[in-house]
Amino acid sequence: MSLQDQVIADFTQRFGASPDIVVRAPGRVNLIGEHTDYNEGFVMPLAIDRHTWIALRPRTDGTVFLHSMDHDESCTFDLEQLNKDKGWQEYPKSVAWALQDAGYPLTGWEGTTICDVPLGAGLSSSASYELAVAKAFAEVSGFPWDAPKMALISQLAENQWVGVNCGIMDQMISAVGQADHAVLIDCRSLDATPLPLPSGTSVVILDTATRRGLVDSAYNERRQQCEEAAAFFGVKMLRDVAMDQFAARAGELSDVTRRRARHVISENARTVAAAAAMKQGDAVALGRLMNESHDSLRDDFEVTNEELNVIVERSRNVEGCLGARMTGAGFGGCAVALVQTDHADAFVTAVTAAYHDGTGLRPSAYVCQASDGASVVTR
């Protein structure tokens, strides 16, 4: 039974009738452009075929009731009396708070949710959840759907209510994703350019079966180091520093700050080059840039871990692999590989075995499909 069927069945059993509305919003995998979004740079993710689903119907009392099939728990909150707590229920509350703070009048609703985006794997389960909740509110409350604006509101929810200081990429791709395309996103202007994947290639997600450990403190530390480097160059963000400018003054920076800045500046250049390669259908160039991205994240930004490095190294040695890199914040989670489609199934088998031999861990690996952003499935 599909997740859509499961969430509808649970709603029907729980509420005694079929849902009025079913919405879904995808997770994401980032092909290239890592730790550039909070530097207002360029990223190139794709929305994946794993989603948060919500089956729902409106209420008339200004209350939201939501049952999570994943947690086997329910939450209820009053839209006029939102209070912070802890747990998964803070995500729907955070979106309600951010929408109201932006001036949207909200209608209550009741529903059931389920998600198959792996938690903590760097595939943006939280952004998927936020955009699904935002879509639910848009449908029952009757306000128009502005995808970039909803992405910004969902980012604000995660930054200021949940307390995770993320950039805009995750929410943007969950909002604006396009089937069969990656999307080049300018994280300053929020311009989004869909780009078809090179013919004859597939994207494979490789879950190392490790989860991010020190990511919160390390992520905040990396952001601070980037801000220090930007201040040194007298610019708002590292996005505003060209590689030749960096090279001319790199020796004046401390070793750590220099390497952090070098990653961000070179990663922005790689991402723009990757978009050009995709426009030309040049899969070899795209794969090479992905390889260079991982090496920079490993050596200059220092956000990989042993397992990520092993799975990337083993992937690159398998026939049909054009490029592989870690994806997400790092310190565990997933890698992503660009693979020749006719080798994709054999690649998954070979990498799974090679990674297990190297680490003793059993990864999850699957060929993903690029999907559309947040949408109404049934109304």
Angle at 148 (CA atoms; ends 19, 4), nearest 5 degrees: 25
Bridging pattern class, strands 63-68 and 109-115? parallel
Catalytic (active site) residue 37 = no
Predicted pLDDT of residue 163: 85
Number of H helices, E strands in the chain: 11, 12
Distance CA(79)–CA(105), nearest Å, equals: 10
pLDDT at res. 123:
85
Which residues are within 8 A (CB) of 104 and not within 5 positions of it... i.e. 6 or more apart?
137, 141, 143
Give domain limits for the chain. 3-196, 201-368
Is residue 187 within 8 A of residue 51, CB to CB? The reply is: no
Contacts of 365 (CB under 8 A, 6+ apart): 204, 205, 206, 207, 348, 351, 352
Check residue 219 and give its pLDDT: 83
The amino acid sitting at 254 is: S
Q: Report H helices in the chain.
A: 3-15, 90-101, 125-141, 147-156, 169-176, 215-233, 243-249, 255-279, 283-299, 306-316, 344-359
Catalytic, out of 170, 186, 207, 345: 170
CATH of 201-368, one of 3.30.530.20, 3.30.1330.60, 3.90.1720.10, 3.30.70.890: 3.30.70.890
What distance in Å separates the CA atoms of residue 46 and residue 146, rounded to the nearest whole number?
19
The answer regarding whether domain 3-196 maps to CATH 3.40.50.720 reads no
Residues 6+ positions from 349 with CB-CB distance below 8 Å: none
195 within 8 A of 184, measured Cβ to Cβ: yes
Provide the terminal-to-terminal Cα distance of the chain, rounded to the nearest Å: 20
Burial 61-85 (b: 16+ CB within 10 A, else e): eeebbbbbbeeeeebebebeeeeee
Which amino acid does the sequence have at 298? R
Positions in the chain whose pLDDT score sits under 50: 214
What secondary structure letter does DSSP report for 341?
G
Does the CA dihedral 60-125-184-155 come out positive or negative?
positive
How far apart (Å, rounded) are the C-alpha atoms in residues 175 and 147?
Answer: 5
